[in-house]
Amino acid sequence: MSERLILSVDAMGGDNAPEMVLEGMELSLNKHPDTRFLLFGDEPRLTPLLALHAKVAAVTEVRHTPDSVKGTDKAAQALRSGRNSSMRLAINAVKDGDAHGIISAGNTGALMAMAKFVLKTLPGIDRPAIASYVPTNTGRSLMLDLGANIECDAENLVQFAVMGEVFARQVLGLEYPSVGILNVGAEDLKGKQSVKEAAAILQETDLPIKFYGFIEGDDITAGTVDVIVTDGFTGNVALKTAEGTAKLFGTFLKDALTSSPVSTLGALLARPALNRLKMRMDPRRYNGAMLLGLNGICVKSHGGTDALGFSNAIGVTADLITTAVNESIKADYARLHEGEPTQHSEQTI
C-alpha cells in the first residue's frame, strides 16, 4: 500500500446516493487533500456525476458494480445475495489490500454482517461494536456499542471497554482516557448482572485502563467519562433519545423566538450566536460510526446525511487509519489475557 490514504467508498449507500456521496468526497478533499478513492457503484450513473466534480474525478478510480444493497434488505439476505453489490465489493477492497478503509452510508445491518464476514474480527474480539462520538459539556466522548449487539455479556462489554480506551488514546490523543459503564445507578450493587460482572473484571485488570465505574444516562452529555460502554440495545436507544431531545429543544426554541415581534427581533440580533449553537448540536458533526473490532477499518455514515455529514464520516475513516487503532486494540487485548502491562503504542502507518 502506498503512503497515500486510499479509501474505498460505497457510492450507492444512503438516501441521497450517489450525488451526496460525491459531494461529500469533494468536501473531504479540502481537509484530506492526499486521499485517493476507489468508488464502487453503477458506472453509468457515476460517470456524469464525476464530470461535475473534477477534483474528485482526479483522485478516483471507479469500479463498476452491477448490484447494490437496499435499505430494506435483511442482513442475512444481503450477505447471501449481495456478492456483487457496491457495499460488498467496497469491503473486499480493504480485505484485498487495495484500500486502507471503507465508508458506506448504506444498510447498517448488511454492512455489519458483510464487514464481519469479509474482514473477520481482531484476535480476542468476539463481536465488533458500533462506536460514535457524542457531544458533551466538555467536548466529546466515545460511546459504544450503538446497536451492533442487542444482547451483551460481561466479556463483550469488557472487549468494548478495551477497544474504546485504545480508540480514545490513539485517535483522540488522550493520555489516560477514563472509561465508564452505563448503568441505572452509580452504586456497585445496582444494575444488570452483565454490567456488574464487567465492572468487576475491569476493576481487577492489569491493563492501564482508568475505569471510572458506573455512570448514568445524564453522565453521557455531562462528559463524566471519555469512553461510555454499553450494550447495543441500550446504546442505540440512548443515542436516539438524545437526538430526539435535542430536536425537541430546537423546536421549542424556535417556537419561543417567534412567539412575539420583540422576541423575533431579539432572535435576529442573536442570530450568529444561535447559528453557533445550531452548529454545536448539529448531528452531522458527529456523523461516522466506527465498526470497531474488525480486522480492517470500516465506517458507517448515517443513511440520511448530506454531503457535509458524509465528509465527516470520511474524516473519521482517515483518522482511524492514520492512528493505527486496530494494531493497538490487538496488542492491548492480547495483554489483557496475558496480564502484562501494556506499552502505549505510537505506531502510525
Q: Which of residues 4-23 bind its own copies (CB under 8 A)?
A: none
Nearer to its own copies, 66 or 266 (CB): 266
Q: Which of residues 279-308 bind its own copies (CB under 8 A)?
A: 280-281
Nearer to its own copies, 151 or 346 (CB): 151
Question: Interface with its own copies includes 260 (CB under 8 A)?
Answer: yes
User: Cα dihedral angle (5, 8, 10, 15), rounded to 10 degrees?
Assistant: -20
* Contact between 37 and 63 (Cβ < 8 Å): no
Question: Interface with its own copies includes 186 (CB under 8 A)?
Answer: no
Nearer to its own copies, 1 or 200 (CB): 200
Among 55, 276, 344, 348, binds its own copies (CB under 8 A): 276
Closest separation in Å from C-beta 2 to its own copies: 39
* Measured distance CA(55)–CA(60) in Å, rounded: 9
Nearer to its own copies, 42 or 219 (CB): 219
Minimal CA–CA distance to 25: which of 12, 14, 35?
35
Among 208, 213, 217, 303, binds its own copies (CB under 8 A): 217
Q: Which of residues 142-171 bind its own copies (CB under 8 A)?
A: 147, 150-151
Closest separation in Å from C-beta 270 to its own copies: 3
Neighbours of 157 (CB within 10 A): 27
User: 27-50 as b/e, with b when 16 or more CB fall inside 10 Å?
Assistant: bbbeebeebebbbbbbeeebeebb
Sign, Cα dihedral of 320, 337, 235, 210: negative
Question: Interface with its own copies includes 252 (CB under 8 A)?
Answer: yes
Q: Provide, for the chain, the percentages of residues in helix, strand and coil under a 3-state DSSP scheme, each rounded to the nearest 5.
A: 50, 15, 35
3-state SS assignment for residue 171: coil
Nearer to its own copies, 91 or 195 (CB): 195
Closest separation in Å from C-beta 326 to its own copies: 26
Q: Which of residues 112-141 bind its own copies (CB under 8 A)?
A: 135-137
Burial of 221 (0-12, 13-18, 19+ CB in 10 A): middle
Cell 456478492, residue located: 83
* Residues near its own copies, by CB under 8 A: 74, 135-137, 147, 150-151, 182, 184, 189, 191-192, 216-222, 230, 232-234, 236-253, 255-257, 259-260, 262-263, 265-274, 276-277, 280-281
